[in-house]
Amino acid sequence: MASNLAWEIVDGLTTEVGPRLAGTEADHRAVEWAKRQLETLSFDKVWLERIEFPVWTRHHESAGVVSPFPQKLHITALGYSGSTQGEVTADVAGFASLEALQDAPLEQVKDKIVFINHFTERTRTGSGYSDSVKVRYEAGLIAEEKGAIAVMIRSIGTDSHRFPHTGVSTLAKEPLPAVALSAPDADQLARIMARSEAVKISLNVKIDYREAGHSWNVIAQVNGRETPEKLVLVGAHLDSWDLGTGALDDGAGVAITTAAAHLIGELPRKPRSSIRLVLFGNEEAGLWGAKQYVTANADTLRNHIYASESDFGAGAIWRFDTDNPVLMDTAMPVLEALGIEKGEAASSGGPDIVPLEEKGVRIFRLRQEGSDYFDYHHTADDTLDKIDPEQLKQNVAAWAVVTYLAAEIDE
């Protein structure tokens, strides 16, 4: 709780690099920055692991109501969206949900701009997001099948500010232009549609796509004192969306897990097994770094005792989840002092841990208060001022304790 390192890391990354969309020059600066930082900290080894993936970037996007009530709409293109051919104008076909779009007859959709006004519920655990994100992934595919010319979704977010939320859609050969409206703009469009049968929208989206992009997973390790070949993997993702500075998503996770691993590295007596910190590359566009990690480390996955990622902002941790009663009982007396309650078997280790979990690696989870996480997630407003330094410290303390114990306990 005394260390200010996590704040220094997230302050540094978001200020000195800022937005860092995977595969861009800014992302490569982030990799340089992270490697340089890790080399000054208490790790025994720091290395890079190359990842290859296609790179989607935005040029510009704009939209407006043309009739009956001309006005601008605030939008952002979704990752893997296609471009319009200059500005296009079309009638809007509105739906309350993905299911309603799925059920719609072709003639209701053909040659129109589809608008899906699906709401995302605010919950502590972020379950509202999980329930809604399918709209972002699938709206474009379904709309295209039915002959639409573009798709607009209400942002997958819980705020009512004029920030559209970006995020990845589905990688396709010839994708429709796919954009998100901010919540107030989605409300506005719904009010306009309630007043008029024929609402015309103009849309102009230009994106760039190149097949051959790359980045790196940035990896560092604190070697264990007895069984250094065995390891507990903790991490976060280094890349961010292009709109904000990626403070909550996922500068905070980078800062928390790096600081926790560093604190363990500073101990005079290292834990039995190793701690491996992985700052994953290109999480946002589809877990490219996480998948590459599993491929590149296939031979040693059996040595991964545990894996867990911090990728849910900077809210205080309120619960510890593990299926290991020894780890739970050893950790809880310390975690209780940090205001953390005893949980159950972890249902997820974080997005970048999914490929490891699928290979049988055990997970634990430190659950964060996330009621406001989806207010900022994937928006321009994901900036450093949204992080509470005290809550960040509580995260570091909890991660240091659990990571240490997971590497120390001899089963």
Does the footprint of its own copies cover residue 383 (CB under 8 A)?
yes
Q: Are 234 and 309 in contact (CB under 8 A)?
A: yes
Nearer to its own copies, 158 or 308 (CB): 158
Q: Which pair of tokens denotes residue 6? A: 């996590």
CB of 26 to its own copies, least distance (A): 7
Which of 19, 224, 265, 281 touches its own copies by CB under 8 A?
Answer: 19
Q: Which pair of tokens denotes residue 106? A: 């072709």
Element (H, E) at 234: strand 227-237
What residues between 237 and 296 interact with its own copies by CB under 8 A? Answer: 244-245
First to last CA, the chain: 29
Q: What is the DSSP letter of 352?
A: G
Nearer to its own copies, 242 or 309 (CB): 242
Does the footprint of its own copies cover residue 195 (CB under 8 A)?
yes
Bond into 268 cis (ω within 30)? no
CB of 279 to its own copies, least distance (A): 19
Does the footprint of its own copies cover residue 197 (CB under 8 A)?
no
Element (H, E) at 277: strand 273-280
Phi, psi angle pair for 194, to nearest 5°: -70, -20
Q: Is 211 helix (H, G, I), strand (E, B) or coil?
A: strand
CB of 192 to its own copies, least distance (A): 6
CA angle, 138 then 142 then 145, to 5° = 145
Which of 117, 132, 188, 395 touches its own copies by CB under 8 A?
Answer: 188
CA angle, 90 then 96 then 97, to 5° = 105
Does the footprint of its own copies cover residue 389 (CB under 8 A)?
no
Which of 191, 210, 302, 359 touches its own copies by CB under 8 A?
Answer: 191
Q: Which pair of tokens denotes residue 125? A: 């655990």
Does the footprint of its own copies cover residue 4 (CB under 8 A)?
no
Which of 35, 162, 206, 342 touches its own copies by CB under 8 A?
Answer: 162
**Contact track, its own copies, 54-83, x by CB under 8 A:** --------------xxxxx-x---------
Residue numbers of the site for its own copies (CB under 8 A)?
11, 14-19, 26, 68-72, 74, 160-163, 183-184, 187-188, 191-192, 195, 244-245, 379-381, 383-386
